[in-house]
A and B are shown apart, each in its own frame.
Chain A
Amino acid sequence: EAGVAQSPRYKIIEKRQSVAFWCNPISGHATLYWYQQILGQGPKLLIQFQNNGVVDDSQLPKDRFSAERLKGVDSTLKIQPAKLEDSAVYLCASSFRPEGIGNTIYFGEGSWLTVV
């Protein structure tokens, strides 16, 4: 079974530039998550989608971050403009459903962002 796919794996940009990350979840998984993991910290949830609807985006800095999942499968996370403190690994994850049996979260390998 194919896992969660993410691209690009690594990105270096200057502050105030923009960047976009792409994620393809495990086939059949309705729930998709974007996490930000700063070095030495736990994954922080940015946004959770159920199909193409947003379930939780309370921790998403909406002045600079945006995310979409238009057809309920692939998702993109955009940062514009980037700040130095956005340097982190952006982890995409998916689960079959958000609650109950089948809600095990599977992570992609992450997109490593360095803002200089």
Chain B
Amino acid sequence: GENVEQHPSTLSVQEGDSAVIKCTYSDSASNYFPWYKQELGKRPQLIIDIRSNVGEKKDQRIAVTLNKTAKHFSLHITETQPEDSAVYFCAAKYIFGTGTRLKVLA
């Protein structure tokens, strides 16, 4: 079955800096890679996703890149703001990574 690894587990950045979270997956048949943001006590919320026929997707300050050959994908957040502080999860199809706790320091 699918296995997803996510790094780093925690990430602290200064407000305005960029944050990058990386994930790898094992099943070459996976074709859908969503990213979720989870605030304390809340449900995971989809923030961006990418499908296997696309190498990069951007939505305002958030971008995701996918390298199918290497089986890894990354989330990039630019111009980080305090409200970006949360736990971020990557997923390959419906299998989730272990999460990255992002702290944006004001």
Contact = CB atoms under 8 A, between A and B. Distances in A.
Interface of A: 33, 35, 40-45, 48, 56, 58, 91, 95, 98-100, 103-110
Contact of B94 (A41, A45, A100, A110): A45
Interface of B: 1, 6, 31-32, 34, 42-46, 49, 89, 91, 93-99
A42 B32 contact: no
Nearest to B46: A104
Given A44-B96, A110-B43, A104 B49 contact: yes
Contacts of B91: 105
Contacts, number: 48
Contacts of B42: 109
A44 B91 CA distance: 11
11 contacts: A35-B96, A41-B99, A42-B6, A42-B89, A48-B94, A95-B94, A98-B93, A103-B32, A104-B34, A107-B44, A107-B45
